[in-house]
Structure 1
Amino acid sequence: MILSSLAVIALLFVLVVMVGGSLKDEFEIPGSDTQRATDLIESEFASEQGSVLNLVFAAPEGERLDTPERKAAIEGVIAKLKTSEFAPSGDTVGIDSVGDPFSDFTFSDSGRIAYAQAQFSDVIETKDRSRVVAVEGAVRDAVASSGVLAEFNGDAEFPPIEQGTQELLGFLAAFIVLLIVFRTLVATSIPIALALVAVGTAFMLLFLLAGLTTINTITPILVSMIGIGVGIDYSLFIVTRVRQLLAEGMSPCDAAAEAGASAGRAVIFAGLTVAISVTGLAFFGLDFVTKLGIGGALGVLTTVLIANSLLIAVLAKLGHKVDRLKVPFLKPIDDSEAARQHSLIARWGRFVTSHAKPVFWILLAFGLVLAASSALVRLGASDQGTQPTEQTARRAYDLLAEGFGPGFNGPIPIVVDVNGDEQAPQRVYEGVQALGEQGDVASVGEPQFNDSKSVAIVFVTPDSAPQDEATADLVDHLRADVVPAATDGRPAAVYVSGLNAAFIDIADRIMERLPLFLLYVVGVTFIVLAMAFRSIVVSLTAAITTILSAFIGFGVLTLV
Structure 2
Amino acid sequence: MAKLLYRLGKWCVRRPSAVIASWVLLLGITVVLGMVFKGPISNDMSIPGTKAQDALDLLNEEFSQAAGGSVRVIFAVQDGTLADEANQQAIASALEALRQDQAVINVSDPFATGTVSQDQRIGYADVTYSSAASEVTEESKEHVLDAIEITREAGVQTELGGDVQMSELEIIGVSEIVGIVFALLVLIVTFRSFMASWMPIATALVGVGIGIMCVYYSANIFSITSTGTILAVMLGLAVGIDYALFIISRHRQQMAEGVEAKESVARANATAGSAVIFAGLTVIIALAGLSIVRIPFLTVMGLAGAFTVLIAVIVAVTLLPSVLGLAGSRLAPKQKKLKRKPAEKKTQTPFAYKWARFASRYPIPVALVVIALLVVVALPMRHMELGLPDNGSKPVYSTERKGYDLLSQGFGPGFNGPLVVVVKGSGTGDITEEATAEAAKVQQLAGVAFVSSPIPNQTGDIALLSVVPLTGPNDKATQQLVHDIRAASDKLMVTGATALNIDISERLNDAFPIFATAIVVLAFVLLTLVFRSILVPLKAIVGFLLSIFATMGAVVSIFQDGHLADVFDVANPGVILCFLPILLTGLLFGLAMDYEVFLVSRMREEFTHKGRAKEAVYDGMGLSGRVVTAAGLIMIFVFGSFIFVDDPMIKVMGFSLTAGVLIDAFLVRMTLVPAVMALLGRSAWYLPKGLAKILPNVDIEGDSIKKELEQA
Could you say which TM-score interval applies, normalised by the shorter chain?
0.7 to 0.9
Q: How does 1:216-365 map to 2 (within 5 A)?
A: 216-322=225-331, 342-365=349-372
Q: Structure 1 residue 424: deviation in Å? A: 5.3
Which residue identity is paired with 1:545? G
Aligned match for 1:50, one of 68, 71, 93: 68
Which residue identity is paired with 1:408? F
Aligned match for 1:452, one of 449, 452, 459: 459
Between the aligned partners of 1:406 and 1:549, the Cα distance in structure 2 is 36
Does 2:506 match 1:508?
Answer: yes
Q: How does 1:493-504 map to 2 (within 5 A)?
A: 493-504=491-502
Q: Structure 1 residue 219: deviation in Å? A: 0.8
Structure 1 contact 526–543 (Cα < 8 Å) conserved: yes
Aligned match for 1:476, one of 461, 475, 480: 480
Give 1:174's aligned residue.
183
Which residue identity is paired with 1:432? V
In the TM superposition, what whole-angstrom CA distance separates every residue of 1:83-122 from its partner, at most 9, and x where no partner exists? 3xx21xxxxxx21221113235322223222221111121
SS at 2:224 equivalent: coil
Give 2:54's aligned residue.
36
Q: 1:322 to 1:147 in 2, by over 3 A?
A: farther
Q: 1:111 to 1:127 in 2, by over 3 A?
A: closer
Worse-superposed segment, 515-524 or 361-370? 361-370
Worse-superposed segment, 540-549 or 69-78? 540-549
Does 2:463 match 1:465?
Answer: no
SS at 2:225 equivalent: coil
SS at 1:308 equivalent: helix
Structure 2 contact 69–136 (Cα < 8 Å) conserved: no
Q: How does 1:65-214 map to 2 (within 5 A)?
A: 65-83=82-100, 86-87=101-102, 94-125=103-134, 128-140=137-149, 142-163=150-171, 164-214=173-223
Aligned match for 2:413, one of 396, 403, 406: 406
Between the aligned partners of 1:219 and 1:325, the Cα distance in structure 2 is 43
Q: Structure 1 residue 288: deviation in Å? A: 0.7
SS at 2:73 equivalent: strand
In the TM superposition, what whole-angstrom CA distance separates every residue of 1:204-227 from its partner, at most 9, and x where no partner exists? 110122122211222111111222
TM-score normalised by structure 2 residue count: 0.69
Give 1:90's aligned residue.
none
Structure 1 contact 22–127 (Cα < 8 Å) conserved: no
Give 1:366's aligned residue.
373
Which residue identity is paired with 1:46? S
Give 2:398's aligned residue.
391
Q: Structure 1 residue 127: deviation in Å? A: 7.9
SS at 1:461 equivalent: strand
Between the aligned partners of 1:173 and 1:101, the Cα distance in structure 2 is 51
Between the aligned partners of 1:186 and 1:376, the Cα distance in structure 2 is 49
Between the aligned partners of 2:469 and 2:347, the Cα distance in structure 1 is 63
Higher helix share: 2
Which residue identity is paired with 2:479? V
Structure 1 contact 441–461 (Cα < 8 Å) conserved: yes
Which residue identity is paired with 1:30? P
Runs of 5+ unmatched residues, structure 2: 1-18, 336-344, 559-712
Structure 1 contact 187–239 (Cα < 8 Å) conserved: yes
Choose between structure 1 and 2 for higher RCO, CA contacts under 8 A separated by at least 6 residues. Answer: 2
In the TM superposition, what whole-angstrom CA distance separates every residue of 1:476-533 from its partner, at most 9, and x where no partner exists? 24424x443x32xxxx432232323222212211121112101221222223333322
Structure 2 contact 99–107 (Cα < 8 Å) conserved: yes
Give 1:334's aligned residue.
none
Which residue identity is paired with 1:348? W
Which residue identity is paired with 1:149? Q
Between the aligned partners of 1:198 and 1:325, the Cα distance in structure 2 is 30
Give RMSD over aligned pairs.
2.6
TM-score normalised by structure 1 residue count: 0.87
Q: 1:459 to 1:250 in 2, by over 3 A?
A: same
Structure 1 contact 187–323 (Cα < 8 Å) conserved: no
Identity of aligned residues (%): 34
Q: 1:324 to 1:48 in 2, by over 3 A?
A: farther
Q: Structure 1 residue 450: deviation in Å? A: 1.6
Between the aligned partners of 1:339 and 1:228, the Cα distance in structure 2 is 39
SS at 1:109 equivalent: coil
Give 2:557's aligned residue.
559
Q: Structure 1 residue 557: deviation in Å? A: 1.7
In the TM superposition, what whole-angstrom CA distance separates every residue of 1:322-358 from its partner, at most 9, and x where no partner exists? 47999xxxxxxxxxxx999711111001111222223
Between the aligned partners of 2:434 and 2:534, the Cα distance in structure 1 is 61
Worse-superposed segment, 362-371 or 49-58? 362-371
Q: Number of paired residues?
A: 527
Between the aligned partners of 2:115 and 2:377, the Cα distance in structure 1 is 47
Which residue identity is paired with 1:557? V
Q: 1:281 to 1:389 in 2, by over 3 A?
A: same
Structure 1 contact 186–324 (Cα < 8 Å) conserved: no
Q: Structure 1 residue 543: deviation in Å? A: 3.2
Q: Structure 1 residue 292: deviation in Å? A: 1.1
Aligned match for 1:549, one of 547, 550, 556: 547
Give 2:627's aligned residue.
none
Between the aligned partners of 1:258 and 1:126, the Cα distance in structure 2 is 52
Structure 1 contact 20–211 (Cα < 8 Å) conserved: yes
